[in-house]
Structure 1
Amino acid sequence: MQTPLPLIAHHFASISLHTMTAYIGRFAPSPTGPLHFGSLLAALASYLDARYHHGQWLVRIEDLDPPREDPQAAHQILTILDAYQLHWDGEVRYQSQRSEAYQQVLEQLIHQNKVFPCACSRKQLNGTLHNGVCQLADHFRLDNDYAWRFAIGSGECGFDDQLQGHYCESLERDIGDFVVKRRDGPWSYQLAVVADDADQNITHVVRGIDLIDSTLRQQQLQQALDYPIPQYAHIPVALENNGQKLSKQNLATALQPDDSGNTLWDALLWLKQAPPPELRNQGNATVLQWAIQHWNLGALMGIRDNPAPAPFLR
């Protein structure tokens, strides 16, 4: 894991993270590649929502899966955020440094009988529930050759999203007993994000709708651990002309530094914020000042996807 340059490691030092605030948001990218326009949308929306509410905006690098990560990506991500003047509060958190904290959370779940060791593959599991006992329990030794799964219940669960309305899924059919620590060692995204959101007192999560399914898994963990549950708002996902999600996996074009304000203006237009044409070429600081004052999260109400602007399509 590469340590960020001192220039971009700490912003808004005058704002203490220990100060009580009504709003703490965050942007939490995975360092699997450089930021693209789709990731800028998520960063910008979460940043503007936090600043509009006079809240804090934290950055967390979710570096839990080294084989999938680009060693340069974390530094590149922070550099691009800094170039667009999306300045964060406090120090950047790296999940790769948090294993001890995640182990404590796992031990609490074990003590509560909320998780169980399991050697089943996803195919073997096939959507069935184990009721806290792995079907292969008699065929594997407890020598770390297993994953830890959260024992899900039955029935339905749901939550009220600020943009998408009420979202509901079947615990058994749609979620199932999900992994909190992988068989090959790494911590799962679900456990790590819940532990860090609670530890950092996150009150609001603004992120892409492609993660809305994860929210229900995370809320199951939050309830089991008696953690507060943040408010969620899932923004649309940017699409290519062929209907694919704009993503690193689909080789979306990497963002380049742009101090003209034009890239942020395009992002605001995509986010239905109706930026005035005269704001173009006014620079990132001026664009962000206008955007914070005029931020309207509700403009994205009920929108699930939206084609990305042509300049950012590969």
Structure 2
Amino acid sequence: MTHISKNNARKLVLGAIASSVLSATMVSTASADVVASLRPLAFIAAGIADGVTETQVLLPDGASPHDYALKPSDLKKIKQADLFVWVGPEMEMFLQKPINTLAQNKRLALAEQPNIKALLMAENQEDEDSHSHTDEANHDSDHEHHHHGEYNMHIWLSPEIANFAAQDIYERLLVLYPDQKEKLDVNLRKFKENMTQNDEKIVNILEPAKNKGYFVFHDAYGYFEKHYQLAPLGHFTINPEIQPGAQKLHQIRTQLVEHKAKCVFAEPQFRPAVIESVARNTGVKMGTLDPLGSGLVIGPDSYMQFLTQLSEQYASCLN
């Protein structure tokens, strides 16, 4: 009986040691990730982190970066991240408090990086106050949730800024994983090479769409449109959470007819009936632009796939 008890005791001790080692391993791997606020930022990060660490995205498909309510699981993901990548407080205001609890070396606000800040486009303020008086309450809540400051914060739609973002993520990962320098160097070089090739491909896709007028639902595409020399006539709203007022809709309908616009674009997250009503009987086609790459799998080539998909969405409606 004594011999059996000793054996059992030994097994219990070994089991406890194994369990504690497993727990420690799980704790250490739980935080070994890059987490990005938005899917396109995760696409860029995954290109650099490929083979070094996993990349996760915070916002689920269909969620808007303009107004998102964090869940306890989101807060846990932020806290456990080795590196959290986001645009910055002017885009994702809901992240400001939780991000401020992270150590400086664990957070990267891309729009605040000197190499990106220099490339920011001025925000289009033309219809900031164009809502009717009945929209005033909503207009106030718009500013509470998504402050439109001096600059356009949809920076992930700029191929040029994406290359700088890749460089910034690379530099942070180099500090976090110094033993992976060789792999990180290869990843950065590949990302930039693939971006150059992809850029040439997109220029060809969009060539027939140049100088063809269109309206977008949401004022988000300035960087992409400028880079590829597209010809937008305007947008329905600055913040997709806020429906445009009657005066704005009348202006757009008039422009649709006068400018002979080829297309009006909705978005997967926002398909307001207002677009259909304005475009009705004008002969203008309706298309959909996805500025967040919903449904695309996060991987080393995802960002190029994202830009290609967006260019094809433009071309299919405008050609």
TM-score by length of 1: 0.27
Structure whose alpha-carbon radius of gyration is higher: 2
Comparing both structures, which one devotes a greater share of its residues to strand? 1
TM-score by length of 2: 0.27
